[in-house]
Amino acid sequence: MNDAALTVSEITRLIKKDLEENFSSLSIVGEISNFKAHSSGHWYFTLKDSDAQISCTMWRGVNNYVFFSPQDGMKIIIIGRITVYPPRGNYQIEVKAMQPAGVGELQLAFEKLKAKLHREGLFDPENKKELPELPMKIGIVTSIGGAALKDMISVAKRRFPLVEIVIASCAVQGVGAADSIVSAIQRLNKQNDIEVIIVARGGGSLEDLWAFNEETVAYAIYNSVIPIVTGIGHEVDFTIADFVADHRAATPTAAMEILTPEKEEIENLIRDFDDEITGKMFNKIEELKVQIFSALNSYGFRSPFDLLRLFNQKVDSALYRLNQTTEKYINYQKNKVVLLASKLSAYDVQKTLSKGFVLVKQEDKFVTRAKNFQISQPHTLIFYDNKIQLNKIYEKKD
């Protein structure tokens, strides 16, 4: 056996050292395949062309600087270095930067996502929410330092100074812009008094506007409880956000113009309302005048004394009937009292005694039968004019 033979680990270390030293900075063009965004935040994918492929890794934190969402089939240019993974003997590209190979690749990704969201119903008209006719509180999702915000505020002050504006500041371009836009939309949805939201930014290239073509932004707009109007870029610019929004305006200023009426329109509306109300009031007054004159010219108003005499006669008649009824009732009650008095007089004890009758009382009880009288006991004789008490006991003689 050859003593100079290398171990697997030794040869792998030599390869690793040679590759990593000689290929520390590479620029490679290829097509993405098997892209996977791991829950850890790292990206894993394969970069290929018609004849070969190579594994790639882009670590969390580094991939935060990519302004678009990589998709299978997209042609990209990466900058990175070759690294070797000794346990498997594999080599891969550790990606440091990534960009589309050209505008055509972004346009392809745009059309692919657009078709996907269209199939899912995010663009369907029946899912669009109605805009308020005269919103008093408007939320704006845009960059606080951008010209678009200044233009929208200027339009609002000129057209409808009463409107209140709530700004949810966010990044609208570059790394992390999509997440920033999503966060701003969600913040405004947590407020109960926002009536409509404008998502806006000024014009720019396809790359500048790409944050509004991200799937996360599309779903944030679709899931918003508050209606959303987009005003992104110039009139010719269309983004995925425009297709999902409840209404698309050509520019940020056009979005504000859609939601705010002109002061002159409000003034005309108030004048029309005033004229309409005034006309209705005069018509009602004339109608009531006719009713009043009709009533004044009626028979009742022409003969008030006849009506008064008629009412007096009715009152007199009612009083007469009341007096008659009351008198009859009193006489009836008097007769009942006389009848009862005569019946009671028949039971008057004094009247009976005056006729010569005597009451016999013994042991505090009246004796009404001879068999109940005890001759040996004291007793009282009650006459009409006096009482005689007999305490002497008489003996009965044969």
What pLDDT is stored for residue 361 in this prediction?
80
Sketch the domain layout of the chain as residue ranges: 8-101, 136-260, 301-343, 352-390
**Whole-prediction pTM:** 0.57
Protein fold of 136-260: Rossmann fold (3.40.50)
Are 381 and 360 contacting, i.e. CB atoms less than 8 angstroms apart?
Answer: yes
What pLDDT is stored for residue 243 in this prediction?
96
What's the one-letter identity of residue 115?
A
What pLDDT is stored for residue 2 in this prediction?
60
CA–CA dist 231, 254 (Å, integer):
7
What pLDDT is stored for residue 398 in this prediction?
46
SS3 for 26-68 is EEEEEEEEEEEECCCCCEEEEEECCCCEEEEEECCCCHHHCCC
Task: For the chain, list residues with pLDDT below 70.
Answer: 1-3, 296, 298-308, 343-348, 392-398
What pLDDT is stored for residue 346 in this prediction?
65
Collapsed DSSP state (helix, strand, coil) of residue 366:
strand
Are 46 and 110 contacting, i.e. CB atoms less than 8 angstroms apart?
Answer: no
Q: What is the DSSP letter of 239?
A: -
Are 63 and 176 contacting, i.e. CB atoms less than 8 angstroms apart?
Answer: no
Q: Within a 10 A sphere around the Cβ of 282, how many other Cβ atoms?
A: 10
According to the CATH classification, is domain 8-101 in 2.40.50.140? yes
Buried-exposed string 161-175: b where 16+ CB fall within 10 A, e elsewhere: eebeeebbbbbbbee
